[in-house]
Amino acid sequence: MLQRPLPRAALLLGLAAFLTPLAAKAQEREVVSKQVSVSRSEATLDLEFSDDTALEISLRDGLVMIDGDNVGSYQPGGELDAAWRELLGRAVSLEDGPLSEALADWRAPADLAGSLAEVAQRIDQTLETSLHDMEVQVDASDGAVSISIGNQSSLLGALLGSAERIGLLPDALADLGPDVRLHLDEDVDIGEDEVVSGSLVVIDGDVVVEGEVRGSVVVIGGSIDMPEGSQIDGAVRLADARVVRNDGTVRGGVVQVESRPSAPVRPTPPARPDVQRLRDEIREEVRQEARNAARQRDDRGSGLMTPFRAVGRAAGGLVENAFTILILGLIGAAAVVFAGEKVDVIAETARRSPGRAAMVGLAGTFLLLPAWVLGFVALVVSIIGIPVALAWLPLFPLAAALAGIVGYLAVARNTGEWLADSHYPWTGWIRKSNPLITMIGGLVGLMALFVLANVLTVVPFVGFVRGLVLAAGSVLTFVVIQIGFGSVLLTRAGRRREYWSTYDADEAWAAAMNADAGPGDEEARAPETGGEESADA
Partner 1 sequence: MRKTMMVALLGAVSAPPLHAQSMRTVTMSRQIEDRNEVQVDVEYGVGRFSVRPVGEGLLYRMNLSYDEDRFEPVAEYSSHRLDVGVRSLRRTHLGGSRQSGELQLELGRGVPMDLDLEFGAVHAEIDLGGLTLTDLDLSTGASESVIEISEPNPEVIESASFEVGAADFTLHDLGNLNAQRIEVDAGVGSLKLWLDGDWRRDSRLTIDMGLGALELHVPEGLGIQLRKDSFFTALDSEGLVKRGDNYESLDWNDAEHQVTIDLDAAFGSVKVIWIR
Residues forming contacts to partner 1 in the complex (CB under 8 A) are: 30-43, 48, 76-77, 81-82, 85-86, 88-89, 92-93, 95-96, 291, 294, 298, 302-309, 311-312, 315-316, 318-319, 322-323, 326, 460
Which residue number, 59 or 156, has a Cβ lying nearer to partner 1? 59
Write the DSSP string, 208-231. EESSEESS-EEEESSEEEE-TT-E
Which residue number, 189 or 320, has a Cβ lying nearer to partner 1? 320
Q: Could you give the C-alpha distances from 276 to 154, 183, 260, 271, 343, in angstroms and in order?
A: 8, 20, 27, 6, 83
Which residue number, 311 or 399, has a Cβ lying nearer to partner 1? 311
Please enumerate, as own/partner, the contacts of 92-98 that have beta carbons within 8 Å and a separation of 24 or more: 92/36, 95/31, 95/34, 96/30, 96/31, 97/1, 97/28
Which residue number, 429 or 509, has a Cβ lying nearer to partner 1? 429
Minimum Å gap between C-beta 85 and partner 1 is 5
Note whether 236 and 256 are within 8 A (CB).
no
Note whether 42 and 59 are within 8 A (CB).
yes
Which residue number, 93 or 197, has a Cβ lying nearer to partner 1? 93
Which residue number, 197 or 302, has a Cβ lying nearer to partner 1? 302
Which residue number, 42 or 280, has a Cβ lying nearer to partner 1? 42
Minimum Å gap between C-beta 75 and partner 1 is 11
Minimum Å gap between C-beta 297 and partner 1 is 8
How many other β-carbons are positioned within 10 Å of the β-carbon of residue 364?
19
Which residue number, 302 or 502, has a Cβ lying nearer to partner 1? 302
Minimum Å gap between C-beta 470 and partner 1 is 20
Which residue number, 29 or 266, has a Cβ lying nearer to partner 1? 29
Which residue number, 199 or 454, has a Cβ lying nearer to partner 1? 454
Give me the phi and psi of 524, to 5 degrees please.
-70, -25
Please list the helix, strand and coil fractions of the chain in percent, rounded to the nearest 5, in that order.
55, 20, 30
Q: Could you give the C-alpha distances from 145 to 91, 193, 207, 213, 396, in angstroms and in order?
A: 38, 21, 18, 15, 97
Rounded distance between C-alpha atoms, residue 490 and residue 210, angstroms: 107
Which residue number, 74 or 485, has a Cβ lying nearer to partner 1? 74
Residue 176: exposure state from Cβ atoms within 10 A (0-12, 13-18, ≥19): buried
Minimum Å gap between C-beta 59 and partner 1 is 10
Minimum Å gap between C-beta 321 and partner 1 is 11
Give me the phi and psi of 67, to 5 degrees please.
50, 40
Q: Could you give the C-alpha distances from 300 to 290, 304, 307, 312, 378, in angstroms and in order?
A: 15, 12, 14, 18, 50
Note whether 389 and 376 are within 8 A (CB).
yes
Note whether 443 and 330 are within 8 A (CB).
no
Pairing mode of beta strands 54-60, 42-49:
antiparallel
Which residue number, 43 or 328, has a Cβ lying nearer to partner 1? 43
Minimum Å gap between C-beta 96 and partner 1 is 6
Minimum Å gap between C-beta 424 and partner 1 is 23
**Which of 328, 398, 357 has its CA nearest to residue 491?**
357
Please enumerate, as own/partner, the contacts of 167-170 that have beta carbons within 8 Å and a separation of 24 or more: 167/259, 167/260, 167/262, 167/263, 167/264, 168/220, 168/239, 168/240, 168/257, 168/258, 168/259, 168/260, 168/263, 169/14, 169/15, 169/18, 169/220, 169/239, 170/18, 170/260
Rounded distance between C-alpha atoms, residue 92 and residue 514, angstroms: 102
Minimum Å gap between C-beta 32 and partner 1 is 5
Minimum Å gap between C-beta 77 and partner 1 is 4
Minimum Å gap between C-beta 449 and partner 1 is 21
Minimum Å gap between C-beta 28 and partner 1 is 13
